[in-house]
A and B are shown apart, each in its own frame.
Chain A
Amino acid sequence: MAVDGPSLSRRELGGLGMAAAAAATVGATLGTAALVSRAARAADDNTVKVGILHSLSGTMAISEAPLKDVMLMLIDQQNKTMGGVMGKQIVPVVVDPASNWPLFAEKARELLAVDKVAAVFGCWTSVSRKSVLPVFEQLNGILYYPVQYEGQECSRNVFYTGAAPNQQAIPAVDYLMDTVGVKRWVLAGTDYVYPRTTNKILLAYLQQKGVAASDIMVNYTPFGYSNWQSIIAQIKSFGSAGKKTAVVSTINGDANVPFYKELGNQGIKATDIPVVAFSVGEQELAGIDTAPLVGQLAAWNYFESVDTPLNQKFISDFKAFVKNDKRVTNDPMEAHYIGFNMWVKAVEKAGTTDSNAVIDAMIGVAHPNLTGDYATMMPNHHLTKPVLIGEVQANGQFNVVYQTPGLVVAQPWSPYLPESKNLIGDWLPPMSCGNYDVVAGKCLGKSQKS
């Protein structure tokens, strides 16, 4: 190396280290400093504070930052049209956990202990939820978690406004099996907790439905993976066994675009081997060339294209609020819409923002879905939801090709896995338990989390 001798004096080292650290800090706070409203800390008694815990920087910002916008819009609307909650203005406290899982726990603690927020709306990845869970349970906070997830959890302090596996994955597999006639399955996912648990459930489900092990291929790839060539070739040859084959994709975020591009380039059309995705929505498709994806499937509980007056209003309100006509709405945004409105109703019902009272008041609260019908908060802290299957269109939106006949009640504990098949969650007294074993007739409590 062309260096003139490494002579690191202690002073130089310190100075430059500081410089680098300073540079790093500036970088990390550049985009967020403006958003963290410290003024909120000085709020008086006539306000109610609500925490927003979504990454505004780092890898997850692509998905989480829009949720912060939705929350700010909902709070703004509530303040302007209804005069806040219980006559008090709602003040948002926005923090940036920067896609850093331990930082999620730190920021959650800050929101609950320092800012004393009445409720927190936040998290996206399961690992961030797992990271904040002990904090919420210890400080008795309330978290509204808006994303579809793998289940196998039912905390008293969390309201899961996204879908449990039986509200997304299982109906999607049923659709492929019954309507499309799929006999051979590829379970492809990113290598982390959500895809692994979901695939475990699906594997058990498919085997129960009589699918042979040789007709199932499971594949995991790292985060942000982009060299799909050999895996797609493998899927292609797996799909040439004379049986209709489909891919069930739990591939996360950024890895999807190269995945679909490679599918298109290798000439695999949705009519040959359809792909149903659980993590690809309007937000992920925004700003990419959707031509190679047309006809591919996604299962959600909400699509922007669903034509109801409530949804039209929500979309136009959101576009006006962020002052950008090109922004899209998606499923987790609807979850926050439902969750926030339910929280308002629960607070008014309880007459206080006290955690215990609100947690009890939440159960049984109902609010209209943007796609029609009502979502109800069940005793297991999950919502009743319609399940929609959509096909990607050239404009980046989805056409709904299937909808479950009624609302689906969540099963946070999968009945298809031996370790959880006897468990239910019910936070109504006298049971008041997140993991009650109906066979043993006792609450497992903290001893078994998942």
Chain B
Amino acid sequence: MRRTRGKQRLAWLAALLLVPGFVLVFAVFSPARAAGGTDPFAGLASPNFDNIQNAVTELAASGNPRARPVIAALADNRLYTWRWPRPDNGLFIKDPDGRFVDARTGKPIATPPFPIIRPVIVNDMVRSAIDAAKGMLDLFSRNVTVRHQAAEALFEAADPDSLPLITRALAHETNPGVHALLAEAEAAARLKSAATPVPEKLAAIRVIGARDDLAARSLLASLSGAAPPVAAAAAAAVRHIDRVLALWNILETVYYGVSLGSVLLLAAAGLAITFGVMGVINMAHGEIVMVGAYTTLVVQQFVAAVFPALNDWSLLLAIPAAFVVAGILGIIIEQTLIRFLYGRPLETLLATWGLSLILQQAVRSLFGPTNVDVTSPSWMSGAIQLGGLTLTLNRLWIIAFTAAVVGLLMLAMRVTRLGLAMRAVTQNRRMAAAMGIRTPIVDALTFGLGCGIAGIAGVALSQIDNVSPNLGQNYIIDSFMVVVFGGVGNLWGAVVAALILGIVNMVLEPVSGAVVAKIAVLVLLILFIQRRPRGLFPVKGRAVEA
């Protein structure tokens, strides 16, 4: 720390001494650019965003061979200019390896000292211009994916100026997918142009209307002020799109509901064991989930430090790690605290609540009170488009993961010896003991299993929620809700309950807002429990009566 500061001071000093020298160097390396013609790069050195934006568009259209690297550098914040404007409008690109090249010539130059240059800052308007410019530059790329992206960017930009370019590209395009997209981009640009005759505009509306998506709707809706026949055709197309989207919306709501349900289920699965099967009111359940999330963090940092190549897959390693850590923590809790409190729900509640505070504050002291950075692997970011349905990948993975976890858990309860022993102890503790099952060990392992599952839930939740000491508090109420609604002691009940709660929540939310939706769900739940105190699928047998 002290050393870096020293270095910085040294750098400043060097800078002061070297400024005249560098000015000389640049004077040598920048050949008479002021001489003759306008400089398409000059606007980039301006502190004004409008100038930068115009320069980007101009540069892309200029056909200058340096346009592509300069615009790419600008997009990545690697383009630098003089901190205090100079007549030569110097522009420098910092290569990823830290060396500088002159933006106009691409020739390497001596590293300019930090204080006399500044990065060229972009804002959202410039960023849009960059996207459109990239589209124009990439339209003739050999790579189909790049061309596809370019066509998409041009569709979004819908810029009449790029019309000749798009038409030229359309004539050359061989890939049917890109060709269709280009045709839509052409139609979009035509719609935006005042010069397009009405019949062509109507044709363009038909092309765009066939997209049946929000982008098309947005474009068509902006035509409401156009000439009457165009406006009418656009309005009709918008109505058609709205009808199509309404159908997709129903599917989308179901997907969101299932996704919320799977999150609830994942958080509640561990509780379904500890509370549902064992009857322990574990208020520290949420904190066990949090411990799982923090284990993910530690595993991720470990992997990043030791095997950086595996970074994207550290999440898979975190799953067994979180299971083991949370499971062992659970066994310790059972052995040191809960064991003494069986059959006394009130004390269990109080003691585990105290425990939850201890765990929270311990994590706060260890990792700090702020959110920690658990990054999402690339295979969990983004979305896939299925017709009019946007399926976000992180949610999709969590749905699959939940299904796998709950499936395995059910299987373990059915076919393993421990599962058999657990069910036996649940149904009749004394009889099970009489048959030679060592109930205390089964209790410890059952509690450990429940906590282990909670730990795994923490791994998944770290991908959609903040990892902070408060993580657990957000899920404890929901978890109890799912288990009680589903019927205590019944895993299938928890599955059905979680899905119902998720879907009802998501159906209500757009209508009533998230706050009222949550209240409504709770009220409905209370009414339901009034009528059926043992939930959806009550477990029959002696255990319930005990």
A→B interface (CB under 8 Å):
1-8, 12-13, 16-17, 19-24, 26-28, 30-31, 56-59, 61-62, 65, 179-180, 191, 219-222, 224-227, 229-231, 233-234, 236-237, 239-243, 254, 257-258, 261-262, 264-267, 270-272, 274, 283-284, 286-289, 292, 295, 297, 316, 319-320, 323, 325, 391, 393-394, 399-401
13 A-B interface contacts by CB (under 8 A): A2-B279, A20-B347, A23-B351, A62-B369, A62-B370, A65-B369, A191-B515, A220-B513, A229-B392, A229-B506, A233-B390, A272-B156, A289-B375
Query: Known contacts A24-B353, A27-B360: does B344 contact A12 (CB below 8 Å)?
Result: yes
Within the assembled complex, what's the spacing in Å between the Cα atoms of A272 and B465?
24
Instruction: Kindly supply a per-residue 1/0 record for chain B positions 348-384, scoring 1 wherever the CB is within 8 Å of any chain A CB and 0 otherwise.
Output: 0011011111111110110001111101100001110
Within the assembled complex, what's the spacing in Å between the Cα atoms of A254 and B353?
23
Decide if A28 touches B361 in the complex (CB within 8 Å).
Answer: yes
B69 at the A/B interface (Cβ < 8 Å)?
no
B193 at the A/B interface (Cβ < 8 Å)?
no
B513 partner, pick from A16, A219, A241, beta carbons under 8 A? A219
Q: How far is the CB of A276 from chain B (nearest CB, A)?
A: 11
B371 partner, pick from A236, A241, A287, A319, beta carbons under 8 A? A287
Decide if B365 touches A13 in the complex (CB within 8 Å).
Answer: no
Cβ–Cβ < 8 Å partners of A20 in chain B: 347, 350-351, 353-354
A242 partner, pick from B131, B222, B426, beta carbons under 8 A? B222
Within the assembled complex, what's the spacing in Å between the Cα atoms of A262 and B395?
10
Within the assembled complex, what's the spacing in Å between the Cα atoms of A62 and B506?
30
- Knowing that A240-B217, A265-B383 are A-B contacts, what are 18 other residue pairs whose CB atoms are under 8 Å apart, sorted by A's residue number? A2-B277, A2-B279, A4-B342, A7-B343, A12-B347, A21-B350, A27-B354, A27-B356, A27-B357, A180-B124, A227-B263, A227-B506, A241-B221, A270-B124, A271-B124, A271-B128, A316-B5, A394-B77
B425 partner, pick from A2, A56, A58, beta carbons under 8 A? A2
B490 at the A/B interface (Cβ < 8 Å)?
no
Q: How far is the CB of B188 from chain A (nearest CB, A)?
A: 12
B→A interface (CB under 8 Å):
1, 5, 49, 77, 121-125, 127-128, 131, 156, 214-215, 217-224, 245, 252-253, 256, 259-260, 263, 277-279, 341-347, 350-351, 353-362, 364-365, 369-373, 375-376, 381-383, 390, 392-395, 425-426, 429, 464-466, 468-470, 473-474, 488-489, 505-506, 509-510, 513-515, 518, 543-544, 546
Cβ–Cβ < 8 Å partners of A3 in chain B: 279, 342-343, 345, 546
Decide if B429 touches A8 in the complex (CB within 8 Å).
Answer: no
B354 partner, pick from A4, A23, A62, A288, beta carbons under 8 A? A23
Within the assembled complex, what's the spacing in Å between the Cα atoms of A267 and B345?
48
A13 partner, pick from B124, B217, B223, B346, beta carbons under 8 A? B346
Query: Known contacts A27-B354, A271-B128: does B256 contact A240 (CB below 8 Å)?
Result: no
Q: How far is the CB of B414 from chain A (nearest CB, A)?
A: 19
Q: How far is the CB of B365 from chain A (nearest CB, A)?
A: 5
Q: How far is the CB of A384 from chain B (nearest CB, A)?
A: 25
Decide if B354 touches A22 in the complex (CB within 8 Å).
Answer: yes
Decide if A2 touches B515 in the complex (CB within 8 Å).
Answer: no
Within the assembled complex, what's the spacing in Å between the Cα atoms of A222 and B514?
7
Most B CB within 10 A of own CB, among A3, A180, A283, A401: A3
- Nearest A-chain residue to B119, judged by Cβ: A399
- Nearest A-chain residue to B297, judged by Cβ: A287
Decide if B514 touches A231 in the complex (CB within 8 Å).
Answer: yes
Within the assembled complex, what's the spacing in Å between the Cα atoms of A65 and B127?
36
Query: Known contacts A31-B365, A221-B515, A226-B474: does B371 contact A254 (CB below 8 Å)?
Result: yes
- Nearest A-chain residue to B277, judged by Cβ: A2
Cβ–Cβ < 8 Å partners of A231 in chain B: 509-510, 514
Cβ–Cβ < 8 Å partners of B252 in chain A: 233
Decide if A287 touches B383 in the complex (CB within 8 Å).
Answer: no
Decide if A288 touches B373 in the complex (CB within 8 Å).
Answer: yes
Decide if B466 touches A240 in the complex (CB within 8 Å).
Answer: no
Cβ–Cβ < 8 Å partners of B376 in chain A: 261, 289
Within the assembled complex, what's the spacing in Å between the Cα atoms of A351 and B161?
69
Decide if A287 touches B370 in the complex (CB within 8 Å).
Answer: yes
Within the assembled complex, what's the spacing in Å between the Cα atoms of A391 and B474?
30
Within the assembled complex, what's the spacing in Å between the Cα atoms of A22 and B347?
13
Decide if A241 touches B124 in the complex (CB within 8 Å).
Answer: no
- Nearest A-chain residue to B364, judged by Cβ: A31
Within the assembled complex, what's the spacing in Å between the Cα atoms of A7 and B546?
12
Within the assembled complex, what's the spacing in Å between the Cα atoms of A261 and B372?
15
- Nearest B-chain residue to A23, judged by Cβ: B354
Within the assembled complex, what's the spacing in Å between the Cα atoms of A319 and B245?
52
A254 partner, pick from B5, B362, B468, beta carbons under 8 A? B468
Within the assembled complex, what's the spacing in Å between the Cα atoms of A105 and B369?
23
Decide if A30 touches B365 in the complex (CB within 8 Å).
Answer: yes
Q: How far is the CB of A421 from chain B (nearest CB, A)?
A: 28
Query: Known contacts A221-B515, A287-B373, A399-B121: does B361 contact A30 (CB below 8 Å)?
Result: yes
Cβ–Cβ < 8 Å partners of B356 in chain A: 27
B357 partner, pick from A28, A59, A254, A323, beta carbons under 8 A? A28
Decide if B464 touches A226 in the complex (CB within 8 Å).
Answer: yes
Query: Known contacts A257-B466, A267-B390: does B355 contact A23 (CB below 8 Å)?
Result: yes
B124 partner, pick from A26, A65, A274, beta carbons under 8 A? A274
Decide if A8 touches B488 in the complex (CB within 8 Å).
Answer: no
- Nearest A-chain residue to B132, judged by Cβ: A271
Decide if A225 touches B514 in the complex (CB within 8 Å).
Answer: yes
Within the assembled complex, what's the spacing in Å between the Cα atoms of A323 and B2?
11
Query: Known contacts A12-B347, A21-B350, A230-B253: does B468 contact A62 (CB below 8 Å)?
Result: yes
Within the assembled complex, what's the spacing in Å between the Cα atoms of A61 and B369?
6
Cβ–Cβ < 8 Å partners of B364 in chain A: 31, 57, 61
Q: How far is the CB of A261 from chain B (nearest CB, A)?
A: 7
Cβ–Cβ < 8 Å partners of A295 in chain B: 123-124, 127
Query: Known contacts A289-B373, A295-B124: does B358 contact A23 (CB below 8 Å)?
Result: yes
- Nearest B-chain residue to A395, judged by Cβ: B77
Q: How far is the CB of B354 from chain A (nearest CB, A)?
A: 3
Closest 10 pairs (CB-CB, A-B): A23-B354, A27-B357, A242-B222, A20-B350, A242-B221, A1-B279, A16-B347, A61-B369, A240-B218, A240-B214
Q: How far is the CB of B467 from chain A (nearest CB, A)?
A: 9
- Nearest B-chain residue to A233, judged by Cβ: B252
Decide if A5 touches B343 in the complex (CB within 8 Å).
Answer: yes
Within the assembled complex, what's the spacing in Å between the Cα atoms of A227 and B392?
12
Within the assembled complex, what's the spacing in Å between the Cα atoms of A287 and B49?
30
Q: How far is the CB of B79 from chain A (nearest CB, A)?
A: 13
Within the assembled complex, what's the spacing in Å between the Cα atoms of A254 and B471?
10
Within the assembled complex, what's the spacing in Å between the Cα atoms of A271 and B53?
13
Cβ–Cβ < 8 Å partners of A1 in chain B: 279, 345, 488-489, 543-544, 546
Cβ–Cβ < 8 Å partners of A267 in chain B: 382-383, 390
Within the assembled complex, what's the spacing in Å between the Cα atoms of A58 and B49?
43
Cβ–Cβ < 8 Å partners of B224 in chain A: 242
A2 partner, pick from B122, B346, B505, B546, beta carbons under 8 A? B546
Within the assembled complex, what's the spacing in Å between the Cα atoms of A288 and B374?
7
Cβ–Cβ < 8 Å partners of B465 in chain A: 226, 257-258
Decide if B361 touches A237 in the complex (CB within 8 Å).
Answer: no
Decide if B371 touches A62 in the complex (CB within 8 Å).
Answer: yes
Cβ–Cβ < 8 Å partners of B125 in chain A: 179-180
Cβ–Cβ < 8 Å partners of A286 in chain B: 370-371
Query: Known contacts A233-B390, A270-B124: does B470 contact A6 (CB below 8 Å)?
Result: no
Most A CB within 10 A of own CB, among B123, B131, B222, B245: B123
Cβ–Cβ < 8 Å partners of B347 in chain A: 8, 12-13, 16-17, 19-20
Most B CB within 10 A of own CB, among A22, A220, A237, A274: A237
- Nearest B-chain residue to A270, judged by Cβ: B124
Cβ–Cβ < 8 Å partners of A21 in chain B: 350, 354
Within the assembled complex, what's the spacing in Å between the Cα atoms of A235 and B1?
45
Decide if B357 touches A220 in the complex (CB within 8 Å).
Answer: no
Cβ–Cβ < 8 Å partners of A325 in chain B: 1
Query: Known contacts A2-B429, A240-B217, A261-B464: does B357 contact A227 (CB below 8 Å)?
Result: no
Decide if A16 touches B474 in the complex (CB within 8 Å).
Answer: no
Decide if B474 touches A237 in the complex (CB within 8 Å).
Answer: no
Q: How far is the CB of B59 from chain A (nearest CB, A)?
A: 18
